[in-house]
Structure 1
């Protein structure tokens, strides 16, 4: 009985709230524009999604196409002080907008409630810094989402994703004595890497998150061929990141937990 899943460590945007992980993406575009009158696309902004936001901005500046345009506009590669300035521009914009995207993804709250009633603890972590998470937690709680633990990207001296530290701090806060009894659920490659590096089972969320990047309304208006293409791409991206399992959304997690429990019973580990 003890050799079962004891905790889920859930990402926030694109996994539990904010269908399509819209809030952080649009703000990156706006922050680059306001800070330096420099244009990046939504597609580019999504590439490092899941990382801490300062690291996300730094990584964007290192993408070949962005680096080429940046050097053309400014005569040199992006510097650390440039990253600082964009981050400082990003923070108030994100704090203003994050509560607007706190609504839970359709169907996830009943699933989370059911898991908690079964005794499974719900941890959480995010690429958002604590200033933003403090706002998002309050807004999400008004919808009924209250995880048992929460760790932000700037709370730990060791760093954030793709390292294991936020996931492991959840293990600490939830008092779980075996990381193999934890499941990391995330919609981004860095978040999957975080779970793998922490020694956990990992589940990629394909359709509600960053891998597709569409709101629920946008998803519902897509034609059949687009849906098929986007689904295949998202599943492949998260599989390539090393996810043990990939599902459409967190709504589909229960059969996966049953499979993991069966594997644990056979003595398997992540």
Structure 2
């Protein structure tokens, strides 16, 4: 009897990232105060995640609803591996921003496209657009703490805030929740496995 042939997992079409509270600006605090140097730093795992997706040939874009001048200031530390999506005329959680981003990337299908964010409104936009969604628990607006504030918490406080954010994200309907972008690769592998079994977003 022949051994079953391992079928390769389906590739991803595109990955759309939130900017604030995802790629940069840990805790999504840029909307609350002036930009400082810490907010413009890439969050944990962001740059390796972008490099990995680029190596796989997966196009990426970032989305944000902050004023454009603030968004561009925050994004200065990001490499050319990711581009800003065009600003949608219809605000989140309408699906238009996600669809316009995919069109700008030259993506011809929704299948295999993913939104990654710590911002509930953007994740809802992704859900409304028919995309896979991955919520970020610790670095998004639901926790709302800067990197320094987060590190200053004790383990029990961090676990409590992370748990509360995770519950809110799953209640929203997101498909997966991770702590930060350092866990993105394994999460995408899990979604690819789910897709190979016929699961749809």
Q: Same fold (TM over 0.5)?
A: yes
| Pair 1:150 & 2:98 matched | no
- Mapped to 1, the partners of 2:88 and 2:145 lie a distance apart of 31
Q: How many residues align?
A: 194
Give the match's secondary structure for 1:120.
Answer: coil
What are the superposed Cα offsets for residues 40-81 of structure 1, whole Å, 9 maximum, x if unpaired?
xxxxxxxxxxxxxxxxxxxxxxxxxxxxxxxxxxxxxxxxxx
- The alpha-carbon deviation at position 115 of structure 1 amounts to 1.5
- Mapped to 1, the partners of 2:56 and 2:180 lie a distance apart of 20
TM-aligned CA distance change 1:239 to 1:100, over 3 Å: same
| Pair 1:132 & 2:70 matched | yes
Q: Which residue of 2 aligns with 1:236?
A: 167
Q: Which residue of 2 aligns with 1:118?
A: 56
Between Structure 1 and Structure 2, the one with more helix by share is 1
Q: Which residue of 1 aligns with 2:27?
A: 20
- Mapped to 1, the partners of 2:93 and 2:81 lie a distance apart of 22
Q: 1:245 aligns with which of 146, 153, 176?
A: 176
- Mapped to 1, the partners of 2:172 and 2:188 lie a distance apart of 20
Task: Give ranges in structure 1 of 5+ residues lacking alignment.
Answer: 28-96
- The alpha-carbon deviation at position 264 of structure 1 amounts to 2.1
Q: Highest CA radius of gyration, 1 or 2?
A: 1
- Mapped to 2, the partners of 1:194 and 1:252 lie a distance apart of 22
Q: 2:93 aligns with which of 130, 153, 162?
A: 162
What are the superposed Cα offsets for residues 232-256 of structure 1, whole Å, 9 maximum, x if unpaired?
1110111111111000011111111
Task: Give ranges in structure 2 of 5+ residues lacking alignment.
Answer: 1-7
- Mapped to 2, the partners of 1:128 and 1:187 lie a distance apart of 14
- The alpha-carbon deviation at position 106 of structure 1 amounts to 2.4
Give the match's secondary structure for 2:32.
Answer: helix
Q: TM-score, normalised by structure 1?
A: 0.66
- The alpha-carbon deviation at position 101 of structure 1 amounts to 2.1
- The alpha-carbon deviation at position 99 of structure 1 amounts to 6.7
TM-aligned CA distance change 1:222 to 1:131, over 3 Å: closer
Does the 8 Å contact 1:98/1:136 carry over to 2? Answer: no
Q: TM-score, normalised by structure 2?
A: 0.87
- Mapped to 1, the partners of 2:64 and 2:33 lie a distance apart of 17
Q: Which residue of 1 aligns with 2:104?
A: 173
Give the match's secondary structure for 2:83.
Answer: coil
RMSD (CA atoms): 2.0
- Mapped to 2, the partners of 1:99 and 1:173 lie a distance apart of 30
Between Structure 1 and Structure 2, the one with more strand by share is 2
